[in-house]
Structure 1
Amino acid sequence: MTESDFDRREVLRALTLLGVTGVTAGLFGGSAEAAGPSPLDLEFTVEEQFRPFALIAPKFVQVDTRARPGALVETGARPKAPYGTVTVEVAAPGSRVVAGLAGNGVSVLGTYDDAVGQAAIEVTTPAGTTVVKTTAAKLTAPFGFAVVVNENAVTVLAGTGTGWRPLLTERDQVRARIDLRDPAVLRKLSYAYGSRGPARLGRVRAGYFGQAGVRDPHVVQYADGRPYIRHGKLYLTMTNAGLGFFQQAHWAVWTLDLADPTKLEQVATLFFARDGVVLGDHAGQIVRDDEHDRFILLMSSWGDFAFTGVHVRHAVTHADVLSGVHVLPTEQLPLPTSVSSWDPALTKIDGRWHIAFVESPAQQPAFVFHPALAAAAPGADYDRGLTLLGADTSVTQTEGTILQRVGGRWYLFASDGNAREYPVYDLRLRKLGTLNAPYGTNIPHPMLVRIGDRWWLTTFDGTQYAEDVLGYGGHGDFILMRA
């Protein structure tokens, strides 16, 4: 060590104690980031909390028209995946109103019969028509009538001026007669509606299902961890909660307006083809890798979850997955684990790909899961020669893994549902402490991102939508914190 080296370090230390960083530190050979805070120094407070809700995603409307007369009118517009909605304005009651998917003698419909005061779900196949579920209902015109398909779950809703209220939902009895995930089946069906008797219908809209809430936010990033920002908007992926359990959810890309964080807009809808069906796998991450002009997508296999395991899947594409509707083939990512896995987080650190994920040795009778970190072979692509760097097996309800650099050092962040805190780890999975941030309901993921000179944290909570009818899965609120 030379005298000049010693003097420069002492000056930097003194400047830091005085709160002088940034450009001044740079004049002495340091960097603003290196002189920045530890994540344990940050204190987050909630600035925004709201509930994104849309039966049809605003940018993904496929039909918007006045109703034509007929017992069953097929629109000809088709979804690429079994995640769609039809809404109908009912101006005057009649004997029967229907909406859903239909074509080629096959249909999956929600119905409302004013004469008998009943809503129902019916499935028609070459074997015949079966009413799989009914419930008593009495609706006073004018009202909105909606039918949502999420995977093989069909939900009937009514809108009476105070928001949409689900009347009934059914999945298992629908799946027993038809599999809407099968592309050959889906290609035969289009959005449909109709009425019998004196019912008078108004506006009809149909398109891709939006969300009953959002969760699992993960900022779209470049390979080196920088956030992906275009035209003043931060891009992030989120799980769009469906009307029911995990299979009813799907994955979407959103933008957050940095000038007005309440302006959250869905810009892409993503589905995945595997095992001969189209699914709504979710809880993942998108990485823009400019070096190879590609997008890397990683997601968790929740789309067909049946308490028999979960794993991380991946895909590479040159298509612009940050806009439009996409159905992408995927493969299982060869993570160095023999148990279930989810919540992948990928970043190239010091020239080597690192991937954080959740390991789960059990999902029943109770979920058990903890954070882990792996790295690809030096110089190899992100999915080659992955080896385990560490795991925290002392925790049993910890997920939402995030890789982020703070103050010039890389950390792994996670969410401990038992301790109700956000643990902070180094890259050997040694716990360093916890984030100073509010911890809400469910297991909120600590998505840290630096925008300019401010640290933001996006997350979610466990607020359910109509759990009495739909059961668990329709959560949560979008929450934005700032340090």
Structure 2
Amino acid sequence: MRAQDIDRRTLLRGITAGTAMALAGAVPAHAQQPSRTPFDLHFAVTHKYRPFDLIAPRFVQYDSAIAPRTAAALVRTGVRPRAPFGSVLVEVSRSQGTVVAGLAGDGASVLGTLDAVAGRATIEVTVGGNTTVVKSADVRVPGAFRFAVVVNENAVTVLVDTTGTGTAWQPVLTERDGVRALIDLRVPAVLGKLDYAYGGQGAVQIGRVRAGYFGQAGVRDPHVVQHADGRPFIRDGKLYLTMTNAGLGFFQQAHWAVWTLDLADPTRLEQVAVLFFERDGVVLGDHAGQIVHDDRTGRFIVLMSSWGDFAFQGVHIRHTTTRADVLSGVHVLPTSRLALPTAVSSWDPALTRIDGRWRLAFVESEAQQPAFIFHPALAAGPRGADYADSLRLVGADTTVDQTEGTIIQRVGRDWYVLASDGDARQYPVYDLSMRKLGTLDAPYGTNIPHPMLLPVGREWWMITFDGTQYAEPVLGYGGHGDLVVMRAR
């Protein structure tokens, strides 16, 4: 089944579906407000905006900074991404020919083209010296425009900005299956031979060219980076959190990143790390997870969901540990499957060590087709055991079937498991035996927004997202995610 062929209403029902860092500026909520419970908090939306970047600002790998000139041939930059998530952006000051951009190597390439005279854009794959046009579309552009080719996993998308500002990108064609039938960019030996490339044929004047890691068409699944005991990472007044960076298409086109949010100004959001994962011989953009720093061992525990190769045949939680600073830079991490006390699919891990025992909240899903069915669950390990050892099921709420976004959070003296119920359009609250206690008083937007709660000074914040799509008629479902910040005093 192709992502573009999925009924959006069905999806909205289903999936809508060093290393020791200093904590500063946050006081544990139980110390500030000992009588507080989640039901004393009354949230209102204070900020809503859309992060959008074809290249993540900190992750530009190539910048020509050249004066306009005629590009007579394909230029290989000599730099490449470590995972198949990259973009090439080209300023075209005059075009009476064809502009080209993408990835290219010896005898192999994946390129987008735009012939301004003929008014035609294509996606072309070359393997063994043989070129195949896998998709084309009619496109009309003015004499000067901006041109971009984005690779998300094996999906290739051609975009144009006819305003010349670089702020009004519109996709004109995209293709994944046709590209994958000829080449697999997820394989390191394949991608490792392809450079960012650009050029022109005919009378084409090219100005500045930039290339680097793809940013995002939106964001979702926010989860605060935390210490093992649940304290959030805050450094220099900035909160660290992970989010799924929406790609230009379905879930395989998304990837995972670490961001900082300025607590003095929640509109100041900055991506500081990009995380990819190697498994089964390929590099993927698995996402929807959590990073926990274990202060006792000096390691980062990294958990994520296996959405990177999702094909309606199951999802599971994966994990790894590392002493590398995953809160900065680009990382490709090998992972393994986390042994959970469930026989069905799982995603959205939330891990915290409470009273000497690791507890892991997650989503159980017994089906992903013809419709998604999923509910929250909680597992715990023996006292003193490591986070992945001998996890046993504490409980699950099987009365719901559209509930995900599990979060473990302390409010006042007690710990709670929070989730998001897409059917009831509310945020259920459970105790550590998975007994439902009530629901949060907070606005419920579109999609299934996750209730990422955290204390900030004398306030409580909820950081979440909504289902606002980007260019769905061309890209299909999956490019959603406005960032939403709520506050409760």
User: Could you tell me which residue of structure 2 aligns to residue 172 of structure 1?
Assistant: 177
Task: Give the Cα–Cα distance (whole angstroms) in 1 for the partners of residues 359 and 453 of structure 2.
Answer: 17
User: Could you tell me which residue of structure 2 aligns to residue 64 of structure 1?
Assistant: 63
Task: Give the Cα–Cα distance (whole angstroms) in 2 for the partners of residues 353 and 82 of structure 1.
Answer: 34
User: Could you tell me which residue of structure 1 aligns to residue 47 of structure 2?
Assistant: 48
User: Could you tell me which residue of structure 1 aligns to residue 37 of structure 2?
Assistant: 38
Whether contact under 8 Å (2:108, 2:129) holds in the other structure is: no
Task: Give the Cα–Cα distance (whole angstroms) in 2 for the partners of residues 46 and 355 of structure 1.
Answer: 29
Could you tell me how far 1:32 is from its partner in structure 2? 3.8
Higher relative contact order (CA 8 A, sep 6+): 2
Out of 115, 118, 124, the position equivalent to 2:117 is: 115
C-alpha distance after superposition, 1:76-109 (max 9, x if no partner): 1110000000000010012111000001111000
Could you tell me how far 1:264 is from its partner in structure 2? 0.3
Q: Does 1:280 align with 2:285?
A: yes
User: Could you tell me which residue of structure 1 aligns to residue 85 of structure 2?
Assistant: 83
User: Could you tell me which residue of structure 2 aligns to residue 22 of structure 1?
Assistant: none
Q: Which moved more, 1:373-382 or 1:324-333?
A: 373-382
The alignment covers a number of residue pairs equal to: 453
Aligned with 1:197: secondary structure?
strand
- Gaps of at least 5 residues in structure 1 are 1-30
Write out aligned runs for 1:216-255 (5 A): 216-255=221-260
Q: Does 1:296 align with 2:298?
A: no
User: Could you tell me which residue of structure 1 aligns to residue 450 of structure 2?
Assistant: 445
User: Could you tell me which residue of structure 2 aligns to residue 25 of structure 1?
Assistant: none
C-alpha distance after superposition, 1:158-199 (max 9, x if no partner): 012260000000000000000000000011001000001111
Whether contact under 8 Å (1:33, 1:408) holds in the other structure is: no
C-alpha distance after superposition, 1:99-125 (max 9, x if no partner): 000011110000001221100100000
User: Could you tell me which residue of structure 2 aligns to residue 16 of structure 1?
Assistant: none
Could you tell me how far 1:127 is from its partner in structure 2? 5.9
Look up the equivalent residue of 1:138 and give its one-letter code: R
User: Could you tell me which residue of structure 2 aligns to residue 190 of structure 1?
Assistant: 195
Write out aligned runs for 1:401-480 (5 A): 401-480=406-485
Identity value in percent: 72
Look up the equivalent residue of 2:130 and give its one-letter code: G
Task: Give the Cα–Cα distance (whole angstroms) in 1 for the partners of residues 264 and 33 of structure 2.
Answer: 27
- When normalised by structure 2's length, the TM-score is 0.92
User: Could you tell me which residue of structure 1 aligns to residue 150 of structure 2?
Assistant: 148
Look up the equivalent residue of 1:83 and give its one-letter code: F
Could you tell me how far 1:290 is from its partner in structure 2? 1.1
Task: Give the Cα–Cα distance (whole angstroms) in 1 for the partners of residues 162 and 52 of structure 2.
Answer: 16
Moved segments of 4+, more than 6 Å: none
C-alpha distance after superposition, 1:369-407 (max 9, x if no partner): 000000112211000000000000000000000000001
Aligned with 2:58: secondary structure?
helix
User: Could you tell me which residue of structure 2 aligns to residue 349 of structure 1?
Assistant: 354
Aligned with 1:441: secondary structure?
coil
Could you tell me how far 1:200 is from its partner in structure 2? 0.5
Whether contact under 8 Å (1:415, 1:446) holds in the other structure is: yes
Whether contact under 8 Å (1:70, 1:194) holds in the other structure is: yes
Q: Does 1:97 align with 2:99?
A: yes
Task: Give the Cα–Cα distance (whole angstroms) in 1 for the partners of residues 31 and 447 of structure 2.
Answer: 36
Aligned with 2:72: secondary structure?
coil
Could you tell me how far 1:34 is from its partner in structure 2? 6.5
Whether contact under 8 Å (1:52, 1:212) holds in the other structure is: yes
Whether contact under 8 Å (1:213, 1:475) holds in the other structure is: yes
Aligned with 1:359: secondary structure?
strand
Q: State the superposition RMSD in angstroms.
A: 1.0
Aligned with 2:389: secondary structure?
coil
C-alpha distance after superposition, 1:326-353 (max 9, x if no partner): 0000000001000000000000011100
Task: Give the Cα–Cα distance (whole angstroms) in 2 for the partners of residues 315 and 32 of structure 1.
Answer: 32
Aligned with 2:36: secondary structure?
coil
Larger Rg: 1
C-alpha distance after superposition, 1:117-149 (max 9, x if no partner): 100100000161000000001100210000000
- When normalised by structure 1's length, the TM-score is 0.93
Aligned with 1:37: secondary structure?
coil
Look up the equivalent residue of 2:379 and give its one-letter code: A
Task: Give the Cα–Cα distance (whole angstroms) in 1 for the partners of residues 392 and 72 of structure 2.
Answer: 61
User: Could you tell me which residue of structure 2 aligns to residue 159 of structure 1?
Assistant: 161
